[in-house]
Structure 1
Amino acid sequence: MPDEPALAPDQALDLLKEGNRRFLEDTSYEPIMDRMRRLEIAAAQRPFAAYLSCSDSRVPPELLFERGLGELFIIRNAGNTLCATALGSLEFAVAHLQVPLIVVMGHEACGALNAAVSLARGQASFSGNIAKVLQSLLPAVLETDPWADNIVDSAALSNVRRVVHELREEASPALLEPQQSGMLKVVGAFYHLDSGKVDFLEPDK
């Protein structure tokens, strides 16, 4: 969208919501990926949203929101954790690409959260870099109660809220200042694997 005016945060969010509505209707999806579009974005990118999402192969943001080339700036890792790489990437998207919206999205039946639950319960152990990833998810598991029913989905929601809170309240000035001026919004979301629906979380929920 290089030739269009910059979107306001709520306009960007509305585009995502409308895209997911189309996805739920099972309509044919044909994003513009022809040569002209490739040439257009080869000169410069101008995504309208940055996305921190899980690496799970069932959760591809471009498809869930029916977006095309150059529209979403996506950071994916196991459990959508706010590691240094993810945080730096989000800061780049805001400071240099002027995205007006950051979405943090978890999902049902997250394998990373399931492994973190097993770790918290003492039912499994992990070595190396996997353990490092799970350690960052343990606070969400522990605040949810690791012995509760449906703990994996509850912990996934808790993890989204924790990351959103950090981005809204504890991040660097590169992210806090545009939020304070109304140029940037940070929202949480949760994807339902069976239905395909994305719920956007209310700010105080």
Structure 2
Amino acid sequence: MSRQYPQINLSRRGLLKFSAGAIGTGVLTAGLNSNLLADENKAPAEDDITPDKALQELLDGNERFVQTKRKNPHQTHSRLVEVAKGQKPFASILGCADSRVPSEIVFDQGLGDLFVCRVAGNIATREEIGSLEFGSLVLGSKVIVVVGHERCGAVSAALKGGEVPGQIGSLIEAIKPSVESSKGQSGDKLENACKANILTQVKKLKSSPVLSELINAEKLKIVGAYYDLDTGKISIVA
């Protein structure tokens, strides 16, 4: 069955209001003009979905994945043609670039369902935050899930420390505060650091003026989740 989701109301007045609060993040600038909004409004008409329902849709999809009962929704040619007119993803994912955690597969979703940002260590950089602000404010995504995972290589590197080549160090520096905050906790050090890193990135996203205003208006939910590489199970951690 094809799901349908609501058009987000983006009048010029409403857009300017959000723009004033988003200048610091750079997500909405003069480049986000009426022509862009006109293109996005070409998406099919959609019914209402709440942030809680959007999150449950993701968790239900993951349960199907774990139970090997995937429906593989919205992966037909007709769906491709439908979303070519415009996108209205119901959920956004900030995930790790790890090849073992493909969002559409582990959440059992399809074309046009998820707005996905992936970077090693699932860190909320300025660019990732700006992208997710766009996905929520302009495209109408109702939930953002920060998905970290078991035995994350980027977090492991931050735990071990030492010199690394190229720009890899920028990733490690972004994760170090989470490693520090997890010290002294009982249990597996790497798992604790991975989960602490998820919580840190959730906090960063919630500090966005654009996203916080949507949260306060009950139009958006931001949560953290931990992916078990061995079972494929997603567990909410924040």
TM over 0.5: yes
Q: Which whole-Å CA distance do the structure 2 matches of 1:6 and 1:72 have between them?
A: 16
C-alpha distance 94-185 of structure 1, shift in aligned 2 (>3 A)? same
Q: Which of 161, 173, 180 does residue 135 from structure 1 map onto? A: 173
Q: Which whole-Å CA distance do the structure 2 matches of 1:127 and 1:69 have between them?
A: 36
8 Å contact kept, 2:72–2:109: no
SS at match of 1:74: strand
Residue of structure 2 in register with 1:200 after alignment: 236
Q: Which whole-Å CA distance do the structure 2 matches of 1:87 and 1:195 have between them?
A: 29
SS at match of 1:43: coil
SS at match of 1:128: coil
Deviation string for 1:86-124 (max 9, x for gaps)?
1110111011101111111100000000111111xxxx3
Residue of structure 2 in register with 1:60 after alignment: 102
Deviation string for 1:151-179 (max 9, x for gaps)?
221111001111112222x21x2111110
Q: How does 1:184-195 map to 2 (within 5 A)?
A: 184-195=220-231
Q: How does 1:68-147 map to 2 (within 5 A)?
A: 68-119=110-161, 124-145=162-183
Q: Which whole-Å CA distance do the structure 2 matches of 1:94 and 1:58 have between them?
A: 26
Q: By how many angstroms is 1:127 displaced? A: 2.8
Q: By how many angstroms is 1:28 displaced? A: 4.7
Task: Tell which structure's C-alpha radius of gyration is larger.
Answer: 2
When the two chains are superposed, the root-mean-square deviation of aligned CA atoms in Å is 1.7
Residue of structure 1 in register with 2:84 after alignment: 42
Is 1:4 matched up with 2:46?
A: yes
Q: Which whole-Å CA distance do the structure 2 matches of 1:94 and 1:180 have between them?
A: 13
Q: What TM-score results when the alignment is normalised by the length of structure 2? A: 0.78
SS at match of 1:4: coil
Q: By how many angstroms is 1:27 displaced? A: 2.0
Q: Which of 159, 167, 170 does residue 205 from structure 2 map onto? A: 167
8 Å contact kept, 1:117–1:146: no
Is 1:17 matched up with 2:53?
A: no
Which ranges of structure 2 fall in alignment gaps of 5 or more residues?
A: 5-43
- Paired AA for residue 51 in structure 1: I
C-alpha distance 197-16 of structure 1, shift in aligned 2 (>3 A)? same
Q: Which whole-Å CA distance do the structure 1 matches of 2:188 and 2:170 have between them?
A: 24
Matched pairs, number: 196
Q: Which whole-Å CA distance do the structure 2 matches of 1:29 and 1:100 have between them?
A: 22
Which ranges of structure 1 fall in alignment gaps of 5 or more residues?
A: none
- Paired AA for residue 191 in structure 2: D
Q: Which whole-Å CA distance do the structure 1 matches of 2:70 and 2:156 have between them?
A: 34
SS at match of 1:32: coil
